[in-house]
């Protein structure tokens, strides 16, 4: 047996494993690094997040990625070069974290790497009859494995696509295993660049579980701030939005898109929800004269409205749903206040801290759970093609040498 296979076999048999989950989301703010002690597998998974940090990306990273990010036309040579470059950078960032945390790399069983999504196009978006769904994450796992000397499991989304899914949201797999409750119906709401949710009915019936992207979380607000406010990445504390007034015609135009009329499950990305989308809505409503504050107030309400519509749809399926929120959007007080006001049928808004998982770390932890299932999961717990949930094991293994 190859020693690498033997090591994996041993890891899979251990009662608990150390797994580093890595997530680099659509916001391009930084690499989320979660060092997790994962005990058991499947419905008996237990996670302890031993360390978590977001390693901020510098301007060089953001500038390079933005040249290809969510763009239909870009420099293919640059894409090719970025794939190993991002992988090496992520590997270097893991090494820095381990050094800072005083952790011996040899004690880590595997790294679970999401990579950096640069393009996402479900069939509903690209409309090419001869193609199915597609999604592309760069940041080669071989680079991470070689750089860290730690076996790395990555490229999780392609198996989902191969099995007929849209490659997202994958959160449902971790949410179901870790957050299902017999006592209450739960909605796990993540508000990153794009917002998504997982619905977990309280009867624990796997067939009632579904997960879907909702639409924009922070992505258009962030892009607008970055374009108009020097050295700002986002509207901290919604200060700009709070100073403005919502423009109703613009809000209505923003809410009028075919994606919102599609039934859940569905996926989307900044390929659709971007500054060009805002521009088109402004054109239609003759609102180019609005102040930055009014635009931000309208965008904030747009995000709140589309998220609230999706939550209210869930609330029709089960009474007394409790929302557990995560992602950067939870730090936006105006967004959270609007959600509470727009969703009277939701019993309570909490965040995943109440379930023992740091809401900023949740997506990185998800990939640690997926890698744990890849290694030690004994069976598929979720499989429902009608809900876009492929019953497959995800992740590809890269060895260090």
Ligand X SMILES: CC(=O)N[C@H]1[C@@H]2OC[C@@H](O2)[C@@H](O)[C@@H]1O[C@H](C)C(=O)O
Structure-token pair, residue 345: 């049928």
Q: Which of 11, 24, 26, 398 binds ligand X (CB under 6 A)?
A: 26
Residue 226 burial by Cβ neighbours in a 10 Å radius (0-12, 13-18, 19+):
middle
Whether cis (ω within 30° of 0) applies to the bond prior to 357 is: no
Please answer whether residues 247 and 290 qualify as being in contact, where contact means their C-beta atoms are separated by less than 8 angstroms.
yes
Q: How many helices (H) and strands (E) does the chain have?
A: 15, 12
Rg (CA), the chain: 21
Give the residue, chosen from 155, 222, 235, 363, that forms a contact with ligand X under the rule CB under 6 A. Answer: 363
- Could you give the CA distance from residue 86 to residue 60 in angstroms, rounded to a whole number? 12
Cβ atoms of 22 and 53 within 8 Å: the answer is no
Among 21, 139, 154, 169, binds ligand X (CB under 6 A): 169
Residue 344 is encoded by which pair of tokens? 């009277």
Among 331, 347, 350, 381, binds ligand ATP (CB under 6 A): 331
Q: Is 326 in the site for ligand X (CB under 6 A)?
A: no
Comparing CB distances to ligand X, the nearer of 98 and 357 is 357
Q: What is the pairing mode between strands 16-24 and 30-39?
A: antiparallel
What are the backbone angles phi and psi of residue 99, rounded to the nearest 5°? -65, -45
Is 200 an interacting residue with respect to ligand X (CB under 6 A)? Answer: no
375 marked as part of a ligand binding site:
no
Q: Does 125 bind ligand ATP (CB under 6 A)?
A: no
Question: Residue 310 interacts with ligand X (CB under 6 A)?
Answer: no
x/- letters, 335..374, toward ligand ATP (CB under 6 A) = ----------------------------x-----------
107 is in an annotated binding site: no
Q: Residues comprising the binding site for ATP?
A: 25-32
- The residue ranges that bind ligand X (CB under 6 A) are 25-26, 117, 120, 135, 167-171, 192-194, 196, 213, 267, 269, 363, 366
- The residue ranges that bind ligand ATP (CB under 6 A) are 25-27, 29, 190, 192-194, 217-218, 222, 233-238, 327-329, 331-332, 363
């Amino acid at each position: 047996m190859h020693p690498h296979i033997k090591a994996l076999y041993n890891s899979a048999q251990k009662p608990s494993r150390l797994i580093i989950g890595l997530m680099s989301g659509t916001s391009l703010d930084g690499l989320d690094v979660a060092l997790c002690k994962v005990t058991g597998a499947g419905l008996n998974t237990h996670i302890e997040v031993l360390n978590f940090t977001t390693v901020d990306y510098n301007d060089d990273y953001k500038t390079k990625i933005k040249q290809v990010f969510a763009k239909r036309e870009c420099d293919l040579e640059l894409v090719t070069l970025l794939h190993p470059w991002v992988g090496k950078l992520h590997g270097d960032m893991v090494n820095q974290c381990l050094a800072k945390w005083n952790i011996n790399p040899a004690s880590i069983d595997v790294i679970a790497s999401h990579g950096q999504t640069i393009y996402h196009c479900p069939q509903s978006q690209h409309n090419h009859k001869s193609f199915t769904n597609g999604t592309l994450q760069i940041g080669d796992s071989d680079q991470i494995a070689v750089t860290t000397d730690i076996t790395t499991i990555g490229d999780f989304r392609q198996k989902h696509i191969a099995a007929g899914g849209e490659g997202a949201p994958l959160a449902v797999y971790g949410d179901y295993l870790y957050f299902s409750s017999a006592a209450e119906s739960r909605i796990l709401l993540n508000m990153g660049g794009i917002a998504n949710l997982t619905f977990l009915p309280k009867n624990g019936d796997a067939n009632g579980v579904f997960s879907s992207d909702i639409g924009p979380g922070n992505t258009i607000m962030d892009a607008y701030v970055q374009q108009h406010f020097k050295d700002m990445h986002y509207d901290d504390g919604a200060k700009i939005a709070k100073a403005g007034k919502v423009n109703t015609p613009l809000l209505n135009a923003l809410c009028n898109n075919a994606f919102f009329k599609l039934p859940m499950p569905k996926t989307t990305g900044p390929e659709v929800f971007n500054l060009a989308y805002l521009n088109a809505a402004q054109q239609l409503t003759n609102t180019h004269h609005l102040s930055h504050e009014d635009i931000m107030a309208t965008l904030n309400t747009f995000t709140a409205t589309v998220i609230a519509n999706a939550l209210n749809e869930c609330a029709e399926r089960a009474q007394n749903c409790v929302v557990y929120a995560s992602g950067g959007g939870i730090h936006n007080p105006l967004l959270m206040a609007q959600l509470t006001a727009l969703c009277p049928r939701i019993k309570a808004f909490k965040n995943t801290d109440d379930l023992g998982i740091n809401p900023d770390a949740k997506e990185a932890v998800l990939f640690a759970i997926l890698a744990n299932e890849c290694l030690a999961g004994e069976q598929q717990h979720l499989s429902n093609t009608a809900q876009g949930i492929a019953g497959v094991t995800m992740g590809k293994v890269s060895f260090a040498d």
